[in-house]
Amino acid sequence: MFCSVPFATARAHAHRPDEDQDDLDFTSDLYALTESSTDELLNSWKVFTVLKDDSDQHRRLENAAWRLHAMQRLQKTPTFEAASKVTGGKCAFKPGAPIAEQLDEAEFSPKRTLSGALGKVNQARAPVEMERVHSGDLAFQDSWAADQLLGVCLKNNLKNETIDDILQVLQHMNFQPEDVPNTSRELRELPHETRPVCAIFTHSLERNGANNFCLYIARLLKKSQPLTVFSPKAGPMKEDFEKLGLEVTIVDTTAPSFLKDLSGALRERKVGLVLANTIMRCDIILMAAELQMPSVWVIHESWPQDQLDHYAKEVFMCKDIDAAVIKRAFAAAGTIVSPSDMQRHLYDGMFRPEAGHTIYNGIPLQQLNQFKQKEDRRKVRAALGYTDEDFVVLHLGTVCSRKGQVFSATACSKLIQEDGCKNLKQLIVGARYIRDHEIKYIDEIFKVAASHGVSCKRWENLTEDEIGKPQITIMDIQAAVLRFYMAADVVLVASLNEVLPLVICESMAFERPVVCSDIDAIPEALTDGVEGYLVPPANADAIRQKVLKLYRDPELRRRMGQAGRARVLRQFSYEHMGERYRELLDTVRSSPSSVPVTQGLSELKGKTVLVDMDNTLVDWDGEFIRRFAKASGRAIEEVEEIVRNRKKFEIEENFPEADRALVLDVIASPGFYEVLEPLPGAVEALSTLVTSGVDVKLLSAPHPVCAASCAREKFLSVERLLGEEFLERLIITRDKTHVQGEILVDDKPQVTGRKAAVWKHVLFNQSYNQDVQGKVRMHSWSQWAETLPGAL
């Protein structure tokens, strides 16, 4: 709406005989204003501002003038509905018909000009006495502005303190509506002294996609958010951050005093917020939780929960990180960001559901567009040694087994030697000679090429005359990569393990068709046959077939390229990503943590705490969702919606009668109870309780459809999660009232049996126990130290 009656003019007053005529006069003046230029409107607003204390009419015109001025700057047109709001719902004009024509036909013709309107309002008028509004009066009840403002407050559950702060700003003498940004994005882009310094923690300063993300975020946020950068080791990107004016601090994560030194450095730089990048910065998340500092953990990796140790130790060679540390960090994290829905769901059960967010990585289109406009594609290709006749297939990314370059090299070798694509040239960019397994993998690519009789050379070893001649060229990691997209005809992403690599989006931004592995979150970015092709992972022949199709059809390449560009603009906007992160950093809070652990332990020491297993210690729902989705053929998101939000404790009662037999079959399926994963923080909490002198017993009932196998698998599960020493603490029983203890932590809404329970039931929060009143409730294991003592 372009205009609303201000509070000052909404005050109650007695009806005057000339009130209707005033409305007609105001309407005439208003539409004269709509025909004015921007400068004329600004001058009109100044005049009405001076005269506004003379009459109610002047206030209305002042309000209308600045709003119309704002609309002209935004190139918007006032609507009939908006005009009706200005005139208090008494607008004499018909919707849909041209306003100018109606002005000619109106009773108050001839049509007024701006000068006529200003002449009228400059005439002396007798002041109108207005009643003062007393506290508790309903004078604002007909005000459109007050109604809209109240609606916003109710919609967003704003507290009185927040509402008072907003009203104080709106009513301040310095408040000028025309100076207020039009969107939340524009408002959040402004700097503010109350924002804390945010420390960005990278896992290195080498040039790669994950670290480029940090650089992009820093560029987006540096004008509005105070930033500083920490990294465990130096690298070429240190200079990139410093060029942005950011301080880069190298911290030795292997030093015994690492956390102590780092805490001091954070205090020295007045850091109040942490952004940790990649799963390998789990140590920083744990530190932030210890300091009760708000944190945002951005995870790019796609590591299966049962392979965390493999990826941490063998693939990325992290000496101080293992599965246990990673799981502790997930449980402690306040906010976790994933670049795709698929990747977020991969870690289900390891973190609090409300902590998880999906934000698609955006790409800096402005930089890409400038490069495209400035550079000549023929010259870019020539600098790489390629002619107009060459068909260039690009594979960009760190050369390693995870990225699948062996399969793309095999496909290209066969295309050259067996399919007659003699002008095909493959360019592999991203080799580095640091880790032994990566060096060995590069050697494998050379062997593949040699076995097919295809020439393969390292770019850095070529003479000037040899550049562009090899059929496969392997180039070291590069800082500037845009030239490669411009030079390419087709881009390959043959990864075996990936989330959603930026190279796909960047390729599509350059209008290049992409042939990708159909894994992980890649289908969220590319539709098979539209922007490119999805192929099975580790399948060189599938890559070969799709590249051959693109090789033979230039029109198909052009069409897919255009579709890719359109998708980037729609889904991977750099500005949208920045907007989401600004909002997140402004609203993030520390994880729901706790009273000091020692305080809770002192009250629990010597007491017996009984702990249920399913959906209290372990994520029963998560395993059921995965198995039922597979067995029924339904989308995992659909099943998750039913299960995670169910109202009834017994799972089968939340499904239609026709599905219940399958539900029970899934529950009884072999290994179901053995593989259940712990809920965030549960294992750590129980271990802490036991080592501090609390008598912890696991108290669990077997499921009636598979009582024997269920009981056996529960013992195996406890041994796997908590160790053999915990087996003696496991009690399997159908009636928990027979077991003695001070506290029972259980998700079941009502726990009954033959005896009167001697323990206090602490309800572990789940969707199906929300209606239970009068019981102590624990929302997550991060709250045990404050919740359990309070139940005694």
Q: So which residues are the catalytic ones?
A: 612, 614
The pairs formed by 122-127 with CB atoms below 8 angstroms and a separation of 24 or more are 122/47, 122/51, 124/54, 125/54, 125/55, 125/57, 127/54, 127/55
Contact by Cβ (8 Å): 414, 420: no
Half-sphere exposure of 726 (CA within 13 A, CB side): 21
Residue 191's region, left for phi above 0, alpha for psi from -120 to 50, else beta, is: beta
Half-sphere exposure of 344 (CA within 13 A, CB side): 21
Q: Which of 462, 388, 400, 387 is nearest to 428 (CA)?
A: 400
In whole angstroms, what is the distance from residue 587 CA to residue 576 CA?
17
DSSP code of 305? G
Cis bond leading into 110, ω under 30°? yes
**Tokens coding 332:** 């402690």
DSSP code of 363? B
Task: Please report, to the nearest 10 degrees, the dihedral formed by the alpha carbons of residues 702, 708, 710, 711 taken in order.
Answer: 70
Under DSSP, is residue 745 helix (H, G, I), strand (E, B) or coil? Answer: strand
Segments in 337-435 forming alpha helices (H) = 341-346, 365-374, 377-383, 405-417
In whole angstroms, what is the distance from residue 622 CA to residue 640 CA?
8
Positive or negative torsion for Cα 328, 334, 335, 341: positive
Segments in 534-659 forming alpha helices (H) = 540-552, 554-571, 574-587, 597-604, 620-632, 636-644
Under DSSP, is residue 443 helix (H, G, I), strand (E, B) or coil? Answer: helix
Half-sphere exposure of 571 (CA within 13 A, CB side): 22
In whole angstroms, what is the distance from residue 615 CA to residue 613 CA?
6
Sheet holding 695-700, edge to edge: 730-732, 695-700, 608-611, 743-746, 760-764, 777-778
In whole angstroms, what is the distance from residue 472 CA to residue 474 CA?
7
Q: Which of 418, 286, 282, 278 is nearest to 343 (CA)?
A: 278
Contact by Cβ (8 Å): 623, 709: no
Neighbours of 497 (CB within 10 A): 19
In whole angstroms, what is the distance from residue 693 CA to residue 695 CA?
6
HEC readout, 709-739 = HHHHHHHHHHHHHHCHHHHHHEEECCCHHHC
Q: What is the largest CA-CA distance in the chain?
A: 100
In whole angstroms, what is the distance from residue 761 CA to residue 763 CA?
6
Contact by Cβ (8 Å): 62, 4: no
